[in-house]
Each structure stands twice: as C-alpha cells, then as structure tokens.
Amino acid sequence: MHVDLSDRQWLWCAAAFYAAGFLLGTVSIVRGGRMHGLAIYGSILAGYVLQWIGLGIRGHAAGGCPLGNQFEIFQFTAWSAITLYLVIGVTFRSSVLGYFTSCLGAALTILSLSIPAWDSVRRTHIFGGNPWIELHAALAIFSYGVYGLLALTSTLFLFRHFSLKSKRLGGWFSFLPSIMVLDHIEVRLLGAGTALLTLALAFGSVYFTRDTSNVGHFKLAATVAVWAAAAVAFGLRASGRLLAKRFAWTCLALFAAALLSLSAVDESRHPVAPPTPKVSAP
C-alpha cells in the first residue's frame, strides 16, 4: 500500500512517536515502576525513521541539506541529537537517558511544527551547489545536536548529584548511571561537539575567505561565539578548574546559547548566488 504524506505530516508522525516515548517514561515514573527501556527506545527509533523520511523529502525538494529556514534547522538539530543517542544508547544502557531524549525530540519537533512563521518561506538550493558551505552547515547543526545530548547527560548528572546529597537512592533515581560515568560521558560529548564545530568552521572558512561579500557576519559571529564558549569550557574541564555541578550547569547553558544562536543563523542567511553561465561568442 502506497502512503502519500507531505513532509510535515511525516514530521508530525515522528513527533508523535517521540512524545509517546516520553509518555511511556512519565507513566512509569508516576506509577513508581521500572521504565520500559526497550519500548522507549523503539518509540524513538520509529520517530527517527519517520523524521528522516520527512527531512529527506524536504532535502530532495530543496536540492540539498534541508537547512533553509528556522523550522528545518530545529528539525535537523533534533534529528542529530536522536542520531547520536541511537548510536550510543545501547552501550549507555540507561532508560532514563532515553526518556529525556524522547522529551528533547518531542519538544524541538513539536515546537518547530507549531510555529508556522518558521516555515513560511522555504528556500531551495541555498548552498548554490557549493559543497564546502553545505558541509559547513550540516556539521555545525549536527554539533548542536551533540550539545543537546550533552545537555540531557548534564541534567542526569545534576539529578544523580541531588540524589546522592539528599540520600534519595530509591525509585527512579536507582536507574540513573553512576556520577563518574555521567561525568565521563559529558566530557566526551563536549569534546565531540566542539571537534565537529571546529571542522564546520574550518570547512566554511574555505568559502568565507574567498567571497567575504556573501558571508553572514552576524551568523558567523554567533557560531564562533558558541564554539569559543565550548572550547573554553572544555579547556577548563581538562585543566580541572570546572568540575561537577558547575561543569554540568555550564553544559546546559552552552546548549541554551546554541539554541538562541539558531535564530541568528537563519535570519542572517545569505543565498549563495549561482555561478554566472558562460555566454559563448557568436
């Protein structure tokens, strides 16, 4: 049977599965029982596939990576965070992380779907066939997705820290990973996200230095500011000057700053002019 749905309908279906995973976890917490990790993971995986189809349809229509407006940027950020969770979720073995990941996926997808103005203008061929700019944009937004998963891990760290301080070790707190494991995951995610953003800026610079007239300076400043904040946080953590709760709160603030910078990325976007066709001599 052929199912003919629009890209937004596919994305609404994805949001529904993300929300279902979050609802399953919430019901388990309210009832005081064990979270159904496999069911939550399955809901996230189903939502991921549907979101991939929706973004694929938009990418085909746009002639490139679907990052043409704020709606698509938020959707791609959510998809990036879910991608990383699906890769490391099995080894992490934490149904609580799946619960928070489904919450993040549902929040970002439903928020962007619920604001029509974010998708009022759809841009096509926004990269002008320039692979450097497309790679730059995809890596930068994917790094923001990594920071999203970092924010979730930092939230779990704060919950575990609270449970240890208050000596509340039962209930759903018992399903949280150890504080040492969470700290190690935080450091690795921050390092991975910062490395990806560094590569994004490096690839983008190949184009930026050749044609500065088409560079969105506000967008570039916002991206560099996020990269600088992440690099400083990683350096302070590596030197032992930013630890425990302060490090976790810094990671949360970093993701909030990344989300705020997304509006700057969209508003200052300059369409890349297509190459001028050669006119043959008569």
Q: How far apart are CA 152 and CA 249, in angstroms?
A: 11
Q: Could you identify the residue written with the tokens 């976790």? A: 248
Q: Could you identify the residue written with the tokens 């938020």? A: 74
Residue 224 predicted with pLDDT over 70? yes
Task: Say if CB 157 and CB 182 are below 8 A apart.
Answer: yes
Q: Are residues 156 and 255 in the same domain?
A: yes
Q: Are residues 220 and 140 in the same domain?
A: yes
Domain contains 110: yes
The Cβ of residue 97 has, within 10 Å, a number of other Cβ atoms equal to: 26
Q: Are residues 110 and 201 in the same domain?
A: no
Q: Are residues 139 and 77 in the same domain?
A: no
Report the candidate in 78, 135, 123 with the shortest Cα–Cα distance to residue 266: 123
pLDDT attached to residue 280: 45
- Last residue of some domain: 117, 139, 158? 117
Domain contains 143: yes
pTM of the predicted protein model? 0.80
Report the candidate in 40, 49, 45, 50 with the shortest Cα–Cα distance to residue 20: 40
Q: Are residues 153 and 95 in the same domain?
A: no
Q: Are residues 7 and 84 in the same domain?
A: yes
Domain contains 32: yes
Task: Say if CB 123 and CB 32 are below 8 A apart.
Answer: no
Domain range for 94 is 1-117
Checking phi first, is residue 129 left (phi over 0); if not, alpha (psi -120 to 50) or beta? left
Task: Say if CB 57 and CB 24 are below 8 A apart.
Answer: no
Domain contains 282: no
Which positions ≥6 away from 149 have C-beta within 8 Å? 81, 84, 85, 101, 104, 189
Report the candidate in 255, 249, 224 with the shortest Cα–Cα distance to residue 236: 249
Q: Are residues 112 and 136 in the same domain?
A: no
What burial class does residue 25 get, using C-beta atoms within 10 Å of its C-beta: 0-12 exposed, 13-18 middle, 19+ buried? buried
Q: Are residues 177 and 229 in the same domain?
A: yes
The Cβ of residue 253 has, within 10 Å, a number of other Cβ atoms equal to: 14
Domain contains 13: yes
Q: Are residues 77 and 135 in the same domain?
A: no
Domain contains 276: no
Query: pLDDT per residue over 131-156, tens digit each?
Result: 778 888 889 999 999 999 999 999 99
Residue 105 predicted with pLDDT over 80? yes
Q: How far apart are CA 174 and CA 176, in angstroms?
A: 6
Residue 92 predicted with pLDDT over 90? no
Instruction: Name which of 5-9, 195-199, 213-217 the model is least confident about.
Output: 213-217
- Last residue of some domain: 91, 117, 143? 117
Report the candidate in 73, 95, 93 with the shortest Cα–Cα distance to residue 27: 95
Q: How far apart are CA 222 and CA 229, in angstroms?
A: 11
Domain contains 139: yes
Residue 83 predicted with pLDDT over 50? yes
Instruction: Name which of 194-208, 224-238, 263-277 the model is least confident about.
Output: 263-277
Q: Are residues 168 and 188 in the same domain?
A: yes
The tally of domains found in the chain comes to: 2
Q: How far apart are CA 146 and CA 138, in angstroms?
A: 12
- Last residue of some domain: 117, 150, 183? 117
pLDDT attached to residue 5: 77
- The CATH code of the domain that includes 75 is 1.20.120
pLDDT average, residue stretch 209-230 = 78
CA distances from 222 to 56, 83, 201 (A): 27, 24, 12
Report the candidate in 182, 220, 216, 215 with the shortest Cα–Cα distance to residue 201: 220
Round the average pLDDT of the chain to a whole number and report it.
Answer: 83
Q: Are residues 164 and 241 in the same domain?
A: yes
Q: Are residues 36 and 160 in the same domain?
A: no
Domain contains 281: no
End-to-end alpha carbon distance in the chain: 55
CA distances from 162 to 66, 182, 195, 242 (A): 40, 14, 31, 18
